[in-house]
Structure 1
């Protein structure tokens, strides 16, 4: 287990957090979007931080306990739990441990439990849903290693951004590209919106009319 990997700067994380996950996904060439099944457990939850990666076996959460004990301020636990939905290996006890270390959220390809408590604590959790069953603590798993979570490759220290639209992962090597592309995309969309308000149509602005012509 190694939690001493390089993390993105807080300035870069804050800059990325100013954009929505869909905008960042498009800005990176439609990359980084986790499966749509990964949602905030309650509407309005947002997260932005450095990925502290975890790989654990379905039904076992020992590795998550290890990660919580080694988290640094600004970390987001990103857990590959193999999509297992019959237990909730993360709940209010682990959320309390994470908050005490300064961790700012959780993304898990699986479920969590104690949903109402997590909401009351203000701890953002993104998962496949809620499941009340507990987990064993017998298999060490891995922490601080490259994983695949909900279809997306995640390396320790990548930036994780989440809101009601879902979760996007920005690799550290692509931060500058994502920021540049996101700014350009927002400027372009703002210009389109102004033209739409002035009476233009998306059919003309996006060049869609030729697609409506009958095939010859």
Structure 2
């Protein structure tokens, strides 16, 4: 692959289906906390749908010119059921990268959703159909279809590197990217943290949540506490 800037890789290795399935019950904050709090996309990439969204899938990556969606259309034809199309449009807000028609096509194909570092359009239509789309906002200005771009190379989306096959988890809080080689290990840590938080919630209602650590940390950091 030497035609840098205008190239397509048709397929890649994905995380095991059983691993992806187990991520479906885990919130993005739990995953982010066990990954050094460094793998969450920019907060401006938000769901355009109603609240209560939660998606998990393999990253199918697209890099495109900020005003163009030719490669996104090709990605829609190549992506497999369960994939999430992740689009690096450089964060530019000039031209919408996709709209309602492309969402209907993706839904029929079994694609899990879109994540766009840029704007989309037809926000009401997308929200009404309930197809998961995360974007930086909306714009009625449509895209061109000229290229160039790349499919299934490593991209940057929301200031986070994304490689083909990385595990994507998205919910109302935002998007987390888990490198596919770390997916199983991160899953176990996230499950353990989620279980621990359930215990803490119960201890709160039982009046047993240990708060001594707060003053201990303040003391260690030299904070003066005045009665």
The TM-score with structure 2 as length reference comes to 0.88
CA distance in 1 between partners of 2:18 and 2:130 (Å) = 23
For the 8 Å contact 2:118–2:136, the answer to whether it is kept is yes
Is 1:209 matched with 2:205?
no
2:196 is aligned with 1:180: no
> Residue 90 of structure 2 is aligned with which of 69, 82, 90?
82
Structure 2: 5+ residue stretches without partners: 1-7
- Where structure 1 has 5 or more consecutive residues not aligned to the other structure, the ranges are none
Local SS of the residue matching 1:98 = helix
SS at match of 2:56: strand
For the aligned residues, what is the CA RMSD? 1.6
1:24 corresponds to 2:31: yes
Cross-structure match for 2:63: 55
- Aligned residue number for residue 117 of structure 1: 125
Provide the residue aligned with 2:136 in structure 1.
Answer: 128
CA–CA separation in structure 1 for the residues paired with 2:111 and 2:139: 22
SS of residue matched to 1:126: strand
Aligned length: 213
Q: Does 1:14 align with 2:18?
A: no
Cα distance in 2 between the residues matched to 1:14 and 1:202:
34
Q: In 1, distance between residues paired with 2:134 and 2:188?
A: 27
User: How big is the shift at 1:185?
Assistant: 0.8
Task: Tell me which residue corresponds to 1:164.
Answer: 172
TM-superposition CA deviations, 1:12-51 (whole Å, max 9, x none): 1110121001111112222321011111012233321111
What CA distance in whole angstroms lies between the structure 1 residues aligned with 2:63 and 2:52?
Answer: 27
